[in-house]
Structure 1
Amino acid sequence: MEHVFPTYARFPFDIVEGHDVFLTDNNGKTYLDFTSGIGVCSFGYSNELIQNNLAEQAKKIWHTSNLYDSQIQDDVAAKLCNGDQLAFFCNSGTEANEAAFKLARKYTGKAKILAFNNGFHGRTFGSMSLTGNPDIQAGFTPLVPGVEFANYNDDEAISLIDSDLAAVILEVVQGEGGVNVADKTWLQKVQQAAHDNGVLLIIDEVQTGIGRTGTKFAFEQFGLEPDIITSAKALGNGTPVGAMIGKKKLAEAFGPGTHGTTFGGNKLSMAVANGVLEQLTPDFLKQVQAKSKSLWDKLNTEIKPLEHVTDITGLGFMVGIHLDDSLKVGEVITQLQNKGLLTISAKYNTLRLLPPLIMGEDNLVKGVELIKDVLQ
């Protein structure tokens, strides 16, 4: 690529076509997809309802602006929120986290935010300032002030939650940071400390949400009741969309002129999100839970005992296979591509798996077997 900034370390092939859970590159090679475009295309690449919704909306109007009412935004928000929540639509996860950052400060009148090491919340300045990864922040200082970091799953973090904080932000499963799952008791302690001190709890569900872990949002499995939730990725199944969901009481701090976006809530993206949420039914989620159980049984029996595997972590269709230092994850990913399987990595030499939620057990098993072949 000659005319684009080299901000990505790209693999030397171009994905030009997709169908179901398979992708085809510019050389005609077809791959089984265990990435979902980094947790995005949970309904695959040829979902009929999503395609029809997008085509029908394109025949009507692509874009107006947020100066006018949008019934389709309200329809999506009704599916996304519970009765005590409102939504703000934007274009990505980092924008959703920016909105959450701003709302927390505006509502509380306080500046300090507590975030966690190995967390990831995006690459714009506010979101990057909340991201507990020095490598991502390197070269961009000074960052947004007022952000403190604590260790994930560490009780010492509880003592840092006091009335000086505006909010605590965290992922219940850290994706980019190594597919680290939070301890349920620890999360509940964090929530209790936040509520006791008048501190907002922000849960970043950009990667974990919209069914990825077997429930609509991952926090539902941990007994949490966040004040703000951020969502993106799978909500648009490949079209640019993000959402910040907050309790209705927060609306007093986010009136006209406090925040905005030209393209947020775009009607094409809303048409897709409508199709995604319409299919995210209790029955569909039960199927995801059943398939993920089979997937984890296979991982624990076939992959975990292998010599170079130190641990397997994750939840639902979000998996991290941790490798020892003698086997580099980049080499594994390349070998898997040669065998026709697409995977990605996470921090600390972790092979990350994010298969589409529609993938059948036969292809899940096939993917695990290919991983076993390479790791052996």
Structure 2
Amino acid sequence: MTTMKWSLLFSCSLVQPLTLLALLFVLITTSHLVVSYSSHDYNDALTKSILFFEGQRSGHLPSNQRLTWRGDSAVFDGSTAGVDLSGGYYDAGDNVKFGFPLAFTTTMLAWSVIEFGDSMPSGELLNAAAALRWATDYLLKTVSLPGKIFVQVGDPIKDHNCWERPEDMDTARTVYMVSEEKPGSDIAGETAAALAAASMVFRSLDNEYSVTLLQNAVRVFKFADDYKGAYSDDAGVRAGVCPFYCDFDGYQDELLWGAAWLRRASQDASFLTYIQDNGKTLGADDNINEFGWDNKHAGLNVLVSKEFLEAQEYSLESYKASADSFMCTLVPESSTSHIQYTPGGLIYKPGGSNMQHVTSIAFLLLTYANYLEKTSQIVNCGSISVGPTSLRLQAKKQGITL
């Protein structure tokens, strides 16, 4: 891809949520799947995708910071609430740390390394792990006080009205939190998912840290399940997170998503039981064909399908059926296809932030293709059968269009 095209892509991403870059990173880690279709330099794209996260870092920067034009910023975040909330990532081109999409970004970074890390150059794999740890170190701080989760730092209205470097920031660093009295099952469930997924990445890199992540994931998930509610239902939190990252789709999917990641990371039977017993109550059968920071249904179905396919856990068959149904909607030849494509073949969904949909869907296509191939399975889409090769082809088209 030409320098100009990459420049345009990354300048656009600055006004997108940080999740877009995580999902772009996920797509590019599968560059070995598109080499024969394109002469684009996907290794360079991978390097730049991970490097972008260093440009978004908040807090005290490490000595090995590669983007040296960035300096320390927001080092006293959380002081007004009596807690250290320095670190983490700024969202897009502003200086706010929005916890809900940041946690989802963390989950996706971890999932990408889990599924495709073996295809990455060793140096970039370590850079990816460093990017992941910068997020999880911050998330651990947000859940450090019992009965509370700090969900955001920064007043978005004041911040968005003042365009300035984070190093020069003089806008309010307002802290928002949820608690037992003001629950936030959505952000707690996503944070649990992020910590659990990341624990799998660090198992071979830093086992002690991996254990810490998983222990905190279990604790945070219990909080999410014991005190149910959407974080943006509270008036105080809503004033800070809406309309930017309100919970529009409910917290139920995050509970299942968190449980699914805890099951995969820990292999604890209690989380399998949770998914089995609570699936219908929490909307697992709704078969909503969405995947992003606010709606985890399609990703949940793909993730849980792995255990059905590989471990033959037949109680999870409905998740596989829902994952199949979602895949069929993405295949133009299928009678149930309802995804729009641009003339060039890019997935198109009316509304803003289209690239989030493109990259998240491409990731699910590639991941599900791997699960199917490993178990010699296909997807039946009415009159046609779709195998791993077809799903990868759909994802490749998105990579080439990018």
**Both structures adopt the same fold (TM-score exceeding 0.5):** no
TM-score, normalised via structure 2 length: 0.23
More strand, by proportion: 1
More helix, by proportion: 2
